[in-house]
């Protein structure tokens, strides 16, 4: 892996635009909705806990992508 890649991965990337702030908030909101559905649909067990932990990881990866590369072009990234 090139040093440039490591810098991008491990540096702090503040949400320095309104578009990034909106995209980060939308990712958090949508993942929360899915997590709440998991709580309703699956019984309390280690697998449900793991599913929510993986969803948390997915949220972090999506927000990392936004931080490093900017938000996507989808309709959810448009300020209301």
Higher pLDDT: 11 or 2? It is 11
pLDDT attached to residue 4: 65
Considering the chain, what is the average pLDDT of its residues?
Answer: 90
pLDDT attached to residue 42: 98
Give the Å distances, CA to CA, from 73 to 3, 12, 64, 69, 77: 29, 23, 16, 12, 7
pLDDT attached to residue 78: 66
pLDDT in tens, 42-58: 999 999 999 999 999 99
Average pLDDT over residues 2-10: 73
pLDDT of 80 strictly over 70: no
Query: Domain residues of the chain, as ranges?
Result: 19-69
State how far the Cα of 41 lies from the Cα of 79, in Å rounded to an integer.
31
């Amino acid at each position: 892996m090139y040093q440039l890649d490591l810098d991008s991965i491990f540096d702090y990337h503040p949400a320095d635009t309104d578009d990034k702030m909106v995209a980060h908030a939308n990712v958090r909101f949508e993942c929360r909705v899915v997590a709440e559905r998991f709580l309703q649909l699956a019984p309390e067990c280690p697998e449900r806990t793991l599913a929510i932990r993986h969803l948390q990881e997915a949220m972090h990866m999506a927000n990392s992508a936004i931080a490093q590369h900017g938000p996507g072009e989808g309709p959810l990234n448009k300020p209301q």
